[in-house]
Structure formats: structure tokens, C-alpha cells
Amino acid sequence: MSNEHNVLIDEIVHLLQGGNAHADLKKALDGLPPNLRGVKVDKLPYTIWQLVEHIRIAQWDMLEFSKDGSHESPNWPDDYWPKELAPQNNEAWNNSITQIDNDLEELIKLVKSEDIYKKIPHGDGQTILREALQAADHNAYHVAEIIVIRRLLGAW
């Protein structure tokens, strides 16, 4: 592989891990009191829990689509957003965060091991490059929302 390709792969991985321009999910959630996970701020549509779960579901879907031709995506938008405002318990919260971390690591492995420019055979033009950039963009957008909610709750 060319040096330029290796630089691109390194930058994609860095972007998936949070990049330089903003906080990553771990930083956005660090020190969040458990009682604020399900608080809905006036005029905002989601709680922090709903955003975390949405990140988990969407990232999982992008990963599974990238590697499995038999994967069926959830129904949009209903199955991408949890109805409950808060996690049932700490275990549900921790399981969601763990899956986000594990799926992100798996997506990074795909970026490092696959031809990122090759069209995904079961897609309609998507590539690993597109899916990785979409995951990074999507996660960054919702992490910013988490930070805004924390600011409004006085917990940032």
C-alpha cells in the first residue's frame, strides 16, 4: 500500500475514535450522574440515554451492513430510537456503552483490513470508506447533542 493510503487509513481511524475537533463519547459521558441519563430537557426531543442507544443501534447497523449481506436493517426511524427515556438499570447502560466500544473496534478492524474503496457487494454503491465516514459523522453529531444536554442540565 502507498504511504498516502496508510495516512488515509490512520486519519479515518483517528476520526472514528473522536478526531481532534471535538470530544468523543467517553469524554461526553465522563462524570455524568446516573440520575441525569433519562432527563428530558425542555424543547429537546431526546434524553442522553436515547442518544446513547441511538448511537449504538445506528453504528451496529452500519457495521453489520458493511460485513454481512444477509443483514436486515431495523425499520427507520422507529427502531433506531428507544421509547424509554432512561435505561432500566446500570447494567443496561453499561451494556450499551460496551457494545458501542466493541462495534467501533470491529469497524476499525474492517477499515484496516478491507479494501475501503471496493463497493460492498450487497449494497448499492456503498464502500467501507463511506460507511466508516458516515459512522464517524453520525457519532460526532449525537455526541455534540449529549454535550448540549449536559450543559443545559448544568452537568458539563
Res 21: pLDDT = 80
3-state secondary structure of 119: strand
Domain extent at residue 119: 3-152
Q: Is the pTM of this model over 0.85?
A: yes
Q: How many domains does the chain have?
A: 1
Cβ neighbours around 117 below 10 Å, total: 10
Cβ neighbours around 53 below 10 Å, total: 23
The set of cell numbers assigned to 63 is 457495521
Res 49: pLDDT = 99
Res 1: pLDDT = 61
CATH number of the domain within which 137 lies: 1.20.120.450
The set of cell numbers assigned to 79 is 427502531
86-123 pLDDT tens trace: 999 999 999 999 999 999 999 999 999 999 999 999 99
Cβ neighbours around 120 below 10 Å, total: 17
First to last CA, the chain: 43
Res 130: pLDDT = 98
- Which residues of the chain are modeled with pLDDT < 70? 1
Q: Is 106 exposed, middle or buried (0-12, 13-18, 19+ CB in 10 A)?
A: middle
User: 106: closest CA among 141, 149, 135, 85?
Assistant: 135
Res 128: pLDDT = 98
Q: How many Å is the Cα radius of gyration of the chain? A: 16
Res 57: pLDDT = 98
One-letter amino acid identity for 30? D
